Amino acid sequence: MRSILLLHWAPRILTILAILFVSMFSMDAFQAGLPLTTQILDWLMHMVPSFVLIIAWKWENIGGIIFLSLGLAFSPYVFWGNYTHNHSIWLSLFIILTITFPFILVGVLFMLSHHTKRKAAEMMKTLSRPS
């Protein structure tokens, strides 16, 4: 029972922490000289994990798949963008670990939580049936 509770809260807490970290960078979307629509679109891009958390909170499996997909899809983009600026593979990999890997981990944890709860519900249903 404790493992189910841990698997329920761990991805949610980690997601909130990751969103707070990524949200710190969302303020750089607002720069003087850029059109307002561009600034808002850039800000919304930073806030995608917040919207996915709303989905994942209710539907863990779907949210897990979205987080995993976003983390995997953005990894090459983030790597290449950083590599072209710093020309360091190791630094770019470190940036991947700090920015996109938490969302990959959270996606896996949400899916694991969903499957663990489903298995526990099936087991309880089996045990509660009269013999």
Task: Note the pLDDT of residue 72.
Answer: 95
Task: Note the pLDDT of residue 131.
Answer: 61
Q: What's the rounded Cα separation, in Å, for the pair 41 and 72?
A: 21
Task: Note the pLDDT of residue 93.
Answer: 94
For 5-32, write each residue's pLDDT tens digit: 888 899 989 888 888 887 887 888 888 8
- Which residues of the chain carry a pLDDT beneath 70? 131
Task: Note the pLDDT of residue 104.
Answer: 94
Which phi and psi angles does 34 have, rounded to 5°?
Answer: -90, 145
Task: Note the pLDDT of residue 31.
Answer: 84
Angstrom CA distances, 50 to 63, 78, 81, stand at: 11, 19, 23
Asked if 61 and 111 touch (Cβ cutoff 8 Å), the reply is: yes
- Tokens representing 73 are 């899809």
Q: What's the rounded Cα separation, in Å, for the pair 107 and 65?
A: 6
Angstrom CA distances, 47 to 19, 21, 111, 124, stand at: 8, 11, 22, 38
